[in-house]
Amino acid sequence: MGNAITLTIDGREVTVQEGTMVIEAAKKLGIEIPYYCYHPLLKSVGCCRVCLVEVEGIPKLQTSCTLEVKNGMVVRTNTPLVQKRRKGVIGFLLANHPLDCPVCDQGGECDLQNFSHRYGPAVAKFKEHKRTFQKYYIGPLVEREMNRCILCKRCVRFYDEYGGETTLGEFNRAAETDIRTFYKTEFNPGFSGNTIFLCPVGALTDKVYRFKARVWDMKFITSVCPGCGTGCSIRLWSRNNRILRITPDRNNNCSNNSNHGILNNFLCDRGQFDFEYLSSGERVRTPMIKQNDGFIPVTYEKAMDMIVFRLKKSIAESGPDSVGGIISSASTCEEIYLFKKLFKDCIGSPNVDFRSRFSDSGQVNAILDESAEYSDLPGSGGVFVLGTNILHQQPVLGLYLRNRAKRKGSTLLLAEPYKTGMEDCASLSVCYRPGTEAYLLYGLILCMLNPENREDLSRIEGFEEFRNSFKEITMEAVEQTTGVTKETMEKVSSLLLDKEGWTIIIDGEKESLLFSAHNLGMALNNVQKGRVKSKVLPVFSQPNHRGAMKLMPESCNARKIIDAALSGKLKFLYLLGSDPVSEFLDRKKMGAVLKNVEFIVAQDVFLTEAAQYASIVLPGKAPHAKQGSFICSGGLTRELQEGIKEGMESEWKTITRLAERLGYSMRYDIIDDLRNEMLSVLQKKDSCREKFLPVRIFEKPGKFPFVLVEGKNMFARDKFISRCGAIKFFFKPGVCISPSDAEKSGLMDGDAVTVFNNLGELKVMVSTMKDVQPGYAVMTDDIACPLNILKDSEEGFVEVDIRKE
């Protein structure tokens, strides 16, 4: 990067990188310069004028947040003149400020309080009427109190630099300048909560946390957000064993080196507000056994006795193969590790897994071991987001990518089946027909191998097989299938060849996509032969998917367990955090499957649909209240901490107790003992030989007129979000089709429709969007609209029809 620059601040020398601002250089020396408008994550604007310093050779005072360091520069931050002017400027900011600190939620962590206390005037000279602004509602998450605003505009700049839409703006002028949403609409949920923490004063405060506590009465613990695979660091703030708010874990100097600026800076509104479920009355808090049609609470001892009795009976009568367990990929690594150990080593049953989808896990695991980590992102030549709505699947990663492209001008390439809102900052975006990713990527590889740039890839293992995956291998066939023209594909492939070291971001839950992306990376690396390798970065909706894959590489596939259950071979099933009814394919069938199992133990935070079939229900600790670790999609091990103490037994303890009762030694006093053992297993890496992998090609059955496309929405309700009052109404389930299809079927926006196929039907509202291609119907999985009613295959085409109610 830049050269080293040495300058003197307050008589002390400091050496920093070229391009650093004086305020940051001073911070390095431990010299505090007060500031409001400046923020390390935003561009400097120099408008609050509090960070003024004296610089030798410059007659006027300079704002240190906009002043770049120069060799030999002599800066003084605390001269009488600086002190005087600083006092003056802080006095100006206080002049019209209401000073309603006793009822302001920012109190205690307010920069205006802190800097006024340290640097402000001792006497308030302002004796005139204070100006006031009109209040209005900006939504359920953020409260706007314009009277307190000091117009640093961090919130406006956050949306300009990170957000896709212009949500906030300045209105009016002079002393009447007002920060408002356009047309006084509500704040768009998504990332609006970040403005709360960017706001240095109490102008934008947390509505969920409003008047709940004073900041000095709370304690916080640093944990990891369980909302998605990103693995953001969060602080869980609690008082009297209740979580009151969540903030990003941003330390004061905001250094974003440790996690490459991804995990510590911002949160999405889901991650920030998804904690209200913790105190829900529907929580399972004690063990329960089924009696008649309901559940009655029992003690842990009694529940354990019953479980052990049935487990032993099943093993004795039908062998260990009659016992199985399904765990969720939202469980911690420790739980997954022990769960597997319980079944494989203690019971001796192969029936243990977390996945409802993958079939060929060996290859997937090898790809994962080679795939990108967050640390690869800063050095990558470009980012190729393929077929995932990243802003909703891993929102904060999406925010990072958008800022990277928008502010730092790095290359972002998008290929997506429908518009996702990232297009504005992309170097190039391509829209293809949903479900044709394999063809698209094959087409791109074909373009790379154009005559003048011919590179014989067939020498590499697996290329022939990969090529033979396709029936038609001409460019025309690719064009026809994907709906992307040859010219566009050539543009994309030349952009791909232009930069080295791509990070290819794809939905890691789709196996065939993972293979296709791996093949594209292979092709790029072999054609370019560059120094920086292109890598795949799979993204996941579940927080520990990558960890689960790592810990259970030799999968038996949960579907085999389901098949065993269906055929009556399975007598005992342990569901840990997993709810096959709402998560697995073919919902109707799943009910029948679970009914077929003699004895089911379900351990979960809530009484899930699958738990209704259970003989015994055990309480599960909430992800915000348990210890353990996740491996996030970026490959980092992230540690969870107990935000609050919950009365129930930890899942890992339950597993060890069960194993001990079965006569198998699983003795861990604290979770750290367990973690060390687990980590030694994780160290093992599968070596992935350089080879292409065959991909599966799916055919459209052509039975129904619409192909179902699965959308993503961060607010789509699962068992947690549906119990968080602040955010549970943001997502409205529905089906989205193209205007031309709507016209053909005589449908209008807002019509009630039934989406159906041979498996089942869903009643939803219809909406139209011109970005959706004709013949496709976009739906998002939600508690009120479970798509597994319509699906019996994960990756092939699912077809549906729509009928007006």
Partner 1 sequence: MSEKIVLKYADVPEQKNIGTYMKNGGYKALPRALSEYKPDEIIQLVDKSGLRGRGGAGFPTGKKWGFIPKTSPKPKYLVCNADEGEPGTFKDRAIIEGDPHLLIEGMAISSYAIGAHKAYIYIRGEFAMGADILVSAINQAREAGFLGKNVLGSGLDIDIDVFRGAGAYICGEETALLDSLEGRRGMPRLKPPFPVVVGLYASPTMINNVETLANIPRIIDNGAEWFAGIGTPHSTGTKIFCISGDVNKPGVYETPMGISFKELLKMADGIKDGKKLKAFFPGGSSTPILTDAHLNIEMDFESLKKAGSMLGSGAVIVLNEDRCMVKTAARLVKFYRDESCGKCSPCREGTDWLAKVYKRIMDNKGRDGDIDLLLSISHDIYGTTFCPLGDAATMPVVSSIKYFRKEYEEHINGKCNHTDN
Q: Is 5 in the site for partner 1 (CB under 8 A)?
A: no
Helix 475-482 and helix 486-498, axial crossing angle in degrees, nearest 10: 100
| Contact between residue 110 and residue 103 where contact means Cβ atoms under 8 Å apart | no
Minimum distance of partner 1 from residue 400's CB (angstroms): 25
The values of phi and psi at residue 649, to 5°, are -75, 145
Minimum distance of partner 1 from residue 59's CB (angstroms): 9
Q: Is 168 in the site for partner 1 (CB under 8 A)?
A: no
Minimum distance of partner 1 from residue 179's CB (angstroms): 10
Minimum distance of partner 1 from residue 104's CB (angstroms): 19
Minimum distance of partner 1 from residue 381's CB (angstroms): 23
Minimum distance of partner 1 from residue 37's CB (angstroms): 9
Name the strand (E) or helix (H) holding 754. Answer: strand 752-756
Number of Cβ within 10 Å of residue 343's Cβ equals 24
Binding span for partner 1 by CB under 8 A among 22-30, 88-96, 279-287, 455-463:
88-96
Nearer to partner 1, 52 or 268 (CB): 52
Q: What is the dihedral of CA 112, 113, 115, 121, to 10 degrees?
A: 100
- 586: CB partners within 8 A, 6+ apart: 759, 788, 791, 792
DSSP states of 463-513: HHHHHHT-S--SHHHHHHHH---HHHHHHHHHHHHHSSSEEEEEETT-HHH
Nearer to partner 1, 95 or 607 (CB): 95
Nearer to partner 1, 114 or 177 (CB): 177
Minimum distance of partner 1 from residue 730's CB (angstroms): 30
Binding partner 1 (rule: CB under 8 A), the pick from 40, 88, 107, 739 is: 88
Minimum distance of partner 1 from residue 612's CB (angstroms): 58
Name the strand (E) or helix (H) holding 76. Answer: strand 74-76
Nearer to partner 1, 113 or 603 (CB): 113
Minimum distance of partner 1 from residue 28's CB (angstroms): 23
Minimum distance of partner 1 from residue 44's CB (angstroms): 7
- Closest Cα partner for 133 from 83, 73, 188, 184? 184
| Contact between residue 143 and residue 188 where contact means Cβ atoms under 8 Å apart | no
- Closest Cα partner for 358 from 329, 334, 395? 329
Nearer to partner 1, 52 or 766 (CB): 52
- 191: CB partners within 8 A, 6+ apart: 158, 162, 163, 266, 268, 269, 395, 399
Contacts (CB under 8 A) with partner 1, residues 33-52: 44-50, 52
What are the residues facing 194 on neighbouring strands?
A: none
Binding span for partner 1 by CB under 8 A among 92-100, 485-493, 572-580, 743-751:
92-100
Binding partner 1 (rule: CB under 8 A), the pick from 9, 89, 445, 779 is: 89
Nearer to partner 1, 60 or 770 (CB): 60
Q: What would the two tokens of residue 172 be?
A: 């009016």
Minimum distance of partner 1 from residue 52's CB (angstroms): 6
Binding span for partner 1 by CB under 8 A among 91-99, 566-574, 630-638, 721-729:
91-99
- Closest Cα partner for 758 from 790, 784, 805, 786? 790
Binding span for partner 1 by CB under 8 A among 89-97, 160-168, 531-539, 606-614:
89-97
Minimum distance of partner 1 from residue 49's CB (angstroms): 5
* Residue type, position 486, single letter: K
Minimum distance of partner 1 from residue 91's CB (angstroms): 7
CA pair distance 723, 276, nearest whole angstrom: 7
Q: What would the two tokens of residue 580 be?
A: 């096959």
CA pair distance 79, 640, nearest whole angstrom: 46
Q: Is 60 in the site for partner 1 (CB under 8 A)?
A: yes
Strands 142-144 and 62-63: unpaired
Binding partner 1 (rule: CB under 8 A), the pick from 1, 134, 176, 699 is: 176
Nearer to partner 1, 58 or 748 (CB): 58
Binding partner 1 (rule: CB under 8 A), the pick from 172, 241, 253, 450 is: 172
> Hey, CA dihedral for 39, 40, 46, 52, is it positive or negative?
positive
Nearer to partner 1, 4 or 175 (CB): 175
Q: Is 182 in the site for partner 1 (CB under 8 A)?
A: no
Q: What would the two tokens of residue 535 be?
A: 């890598």
Strands 294-297 and 288-291: antiparallel
Minimum distance of partner 1 from residue 333's CB (angstroms): 48
Strands (E), 146-275: 168-171, 178-181, 204-206, 219-224, 233-239, 242-248
Q: Is 92 in the site for partner 1 (CB under 8 A)?
A: yes
- 373: CB partners within 8 A, 6+ apart: 537, 634, 635, 636
Nearer to partner 1, 199 or 383 (CB): 199
Q: Is 213 in the site for partner 1 (CB under 8 A)?
A: no
Q: Is 408 in the site for partner 1 (CB under 8 A)?
A: no
Count of chain residues binding partner 1 (CB under 8 A): 35
**Residue owning tokens 């259950």:** 565
Nearer to partner 1, 172 or 485 (CB): 172
Minimum distance of partner 1 from residue 33's CB (angstroms): 14
The values of phi and psi at residue 366, to 5°, are -65, -40
Minimum distance of partner 1 from residue 74's CB (angstroms): 19
Binding partner 1 (rule: CB under 8 A), the pick from 18, 56, 165, 170 is: 170
Nearer to partner 1, 68 or 749 (CB): 68
Q: Kindly list the distances between the CA atom of residue 651 and the CA atoms of 280, 283, 300, 337, in Å, as whole numbers in the listed order.
A: 20, 15, 12, 12
Contact string (CB under 8 A) for partner 1, positions 67-86, x = contact:
------------------x-
Name the strand (E) or helix (H) holding 309. Answer: helix 300-318
Nearer to partner 1, 44 or 420 (CB): 44
Binding span for partner 1 by CB under 8 A among 172-180, 278-286, 473-481, 497-505:
172-180
Minimum distance of partner 1 from residue 20's CB (angstroms): 16
Contacts (CB under 8 A) with partner 1, residues 93-132: 93, 95-96, 125-129, 131
**Is 182 in a helix, a strand, or coil?**
helix
CA pair distance 186, 35, nearest whole angstrom: 29
Nearer to partner 1, 4 or 123 (CB): 123
Contacts (CB under 8 A) with partner 1, residues 740-799: none
End-to-end Cα, the chain, rounded Å? 62
Strands 352-353 and 637-640: unpaired
| Contact between residue 23 and residue 35 where contact means Cβ atoms under 8 Å apart | yes
CA pair distance 506, 510, nearest whole angstrom: 8
Contacts (CB under 8 A) with partner 1, residues 135-164: 150-151
**Is 223 in a helix, a strand, or coil?**
strand
Nearer to partner 1, 66 or 359 (CB): 66
Nearer to partner 1, 86 or 310 (CB): 86
Minimum distance of partner 1 from residue 367's CB (angstroms): 42
Binding partner 1 (rule: CB under 8 A), the pick from 6, 114, 177, 359 is: 177
Residues that bind partner 1 in the complex, under the rule CB under 8 A: 44-50, 52, 60-61, 66, 85, 87-89, 91-93, 95-96, 125-129, 131, 150-151, 170, 172-177
